[in-house]
């Protein structure tokens, strides 16, 4: 448990979250956090159910006098996105997260914090174990591998659950209620470039883009944050357009399909005397990019440094196909909702590029709340990949969650929020992949709503959670559980 978080209110919630910061839980490696959650449940005498993939359901008896109330599901995911700054030494498989407090916010130290969705898991456990919380029968549903494909929700055994009303605790805006979400799918594109030995008389240089904010490819895509891969490829394209001869040895960037790339790096070979030509292009390019990102991503750094010159380089035609493909793949907001003002309807994230067993592998993540539009976007990405001669694989996606404004549980949460915030609450959908769409398929007739505290910078080392909003979120959860069981 982190001493840094000791004393924060509500203590029951922060206590569980503090313990989670000491338990490594990368996606697909949740064994230790599963064991931790099971130990908390068993310590309090709760029944634990599990399915084949390892999702947990903790069965919590009702507060005395509320036994006849309907079963309520509290849901969150156990894994976290593991991102760190380049200058930070951290092993996510073994090292604890190091939280720190700055004013009204909790951050980690140079890494993601894991408030997404550790705070939701902690809230569920706190609701089950805090004697001040009045509730009917509860089922705490803790899923696995949400961040890398919603695998836990996709493979959930729905028969584990008796409840038909669910509070998803995995949204990130204080005072906002979510009643829908986007669907999404990933596309993998593979090129196998031919290579030759680097020409004699050339010098290797590392071209690096960094210092960007990155962030969640759903929640932050509308903010026009810089994409390091796109910026790097634009620089290489401008070099060619300016007559700067170069050979490309390697190109890589990004770290996760659902994170906007913060860093990218290429190793190029320049002929003798090419340094001056590169510098002539680089200066104006930096000015252009800084102007584009003014007020958005002002920490951007573009640097060129000497590199190891021993690598092979791609033949020119394959280099040009790779650069053209990365230039052509879309990134950013592609459409806005006409029904919910301000909601991104469709977007695309050029997420990662890098070497993969002699190939260059590109991952693109697409989202839309409209199924046919999503299908059209995926088809256009396949077409671009085919034109570039790449192998294209569209991976199984996940469905969206269509808002039901007549939802009974939405009506209760809306009433609670109106009382606590003293205003009519905002009810909207989220341009991110909540598990609700999949869970609704696994548990027919499930009535759902999602809410949470203020979390910013999710999926990046800038992730932070607002302390005061956690207290408001907790009060809303307590009051909702009381009202649903009365």
Q: List, by residue number, the catalytic residues.
A: 79, 146
Strand ranges inside 383-422, DSSP E: 391-394
Contact criterion met (CB below 8 Å) for 452 and 172 = yes
Contact criterion met (CB below 8 Å) for 346 and 334 = yes
User: What is the DSSP code (8-state) at residue 23?
Assistant: S
| Spacing of C-alpha 266 from chain mean position | 25
Residue 151's φ and ψ, nearest 5 degrees, are: -60, -40
Element holding 41 (H helix, E strand) = helix 31-43
* Residue 423 neighbours by CB distance under 10 Å: 10
**Given the DSSP bridges, would you call strands 56-60 and 72-77 parallel, antiparallel or unpaired?**
unpaired
**309/198 Cα distance (integer angstroms):** 8
Contact criterion met (CB below 8 Å) for 453 and 364 = no
Angle at 345 between CA 343 and CA 348, to 5 degrees: 120
400: nearest Cα among 329, 444, 348, 346 = 346
Rounded to a whole number of angstroms, the CA Rg of the chain reads: 24
Q: How many residues does the chain have?
A: 486
Provide the CB-side half-sphere exposure for 153 (13 A, CA). Answer: 24
Sheet with 426-430: strands ordered across: 47-50, 56-60, 138-143, 72-77, 165-168, 447-450, 176-181, 426-430
The residues with which 142 forms a beta bridge, in sequence order, are 56, 76
In angstroms, the Cα distances linking 177 to 73, 134, 150, 416 are 17, 22, 21, 11
Provide the CB-side half-sphere exposure for 442 (13 A, CA). Answer: 25
Tokens for 144, please give them: 């696995």
- Find out whether the peptide bond into 303 is cis, omega within 30 degrees of 0: no
* Helix residue ranges per DSSP H, 302-407: 316-328, 371-387
398: nearest Cα among 440, 362, 443, 348 = 440
| Spacing of C-alpha 426 from chain mean position | 23
Tokens for 126, please give them: 């706190």
Block residue for tokens 């960037």: 253
429: nearest Cα among 398, 400, 459, 465 = 400
């Amino acid at each position: 448990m982190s001493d840094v978080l000791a004393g924060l209110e509500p203590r029951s919630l922060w206590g569980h979250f503090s313990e989670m910061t000491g338990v490594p839980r990368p996606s697909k490696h949740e064994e230790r956090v599963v064991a931790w959650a099971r130990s908390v449940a068993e310590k309090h005498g709760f029944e634990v159910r599990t399915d084949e993939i390892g999702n947990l359901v903790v069965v919590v008896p009702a507060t005395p006098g509320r036994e006849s109330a309907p079963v309520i599901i509290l849901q969150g995911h156990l894994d976290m996105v593991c991102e760190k700054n380049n200058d930070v030494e951290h092993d996510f498989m073994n090292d604890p997260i190091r939280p720190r407090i700055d004013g009204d916010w909790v951050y980690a130290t140079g890494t993601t914090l894991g408030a997404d969705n550790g705070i939701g898991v902690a809230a569920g456990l706190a609701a089950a174990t805090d004697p001040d919380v009045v509730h009917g029968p509860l089922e705490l549903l803790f899923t696995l591998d949400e961040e890398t494909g919603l695998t836990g929700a996709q493979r959930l055994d729905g028969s584990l659950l008796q409840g038909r009303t669910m509070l998803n605790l995995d949204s990130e805006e204080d005072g906002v209620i979510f009643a829908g979400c986007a669907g999404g799918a990933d596309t993998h594109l593979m090129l196998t470039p031919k290579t030759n030995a680097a020409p004699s008389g050339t010098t290797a240089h590392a071209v690096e883009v960094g210092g960007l904010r990155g962030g969640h490819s759903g929640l932050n895509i509308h903010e026009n944050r810089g994409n390091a891969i796109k910026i790097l490829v634009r620089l290489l394209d401008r070099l060619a357009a300016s007559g700067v001869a170069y050979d490309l040895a390697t190109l890589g960037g990004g770290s996760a399909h659902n994170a906007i790339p913060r860093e990218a790096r290429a190793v190029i070979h320049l002929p003798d005397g090419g340094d001056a030509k590169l510098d002539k292009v680089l200066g104006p390019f930096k000015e252009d990019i800084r102007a584009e990102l003014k007020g958005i991503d002002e920490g951007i750094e573009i640097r060129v440094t000497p590199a190891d010159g021993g690598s092979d380089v791609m033949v020119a035609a394959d280099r040009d196909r790779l650069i053209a493909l990365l230039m052509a793949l879309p990134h950013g907001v592609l459409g806005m909702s006409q029904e919910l003002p301000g909601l991104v309807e469709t977007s695309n994230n050029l997420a990662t590029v890098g070497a993969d067993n002699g190939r260059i592998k590109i991952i693109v993540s697409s989202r839309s709340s409209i199924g046919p539009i999503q299908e059209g976007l995926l088809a256009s990405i396949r077409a671009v990949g085919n034109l570039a001669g790449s192998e294209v694989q569209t991976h199984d996606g996940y469905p969206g969650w269509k808002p039901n404004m007549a939802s009974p549980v939405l009506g209760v949460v809306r009433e609670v929020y109106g009382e606590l915030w003293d205003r009519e609450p905002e009810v909207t959908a989220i341009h991110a992949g909540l598990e609700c769409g999949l869970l609704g398929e696994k548990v027919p007739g499930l009535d759902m709503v999602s809410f949470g505290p203020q979390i910013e910078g999710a999926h990046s080392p800038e992730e932070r959670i607002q302390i005061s909003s956690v207290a408001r979120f907790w009060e809303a959860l307590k009051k909702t559980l009381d009202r649903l069981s009365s």
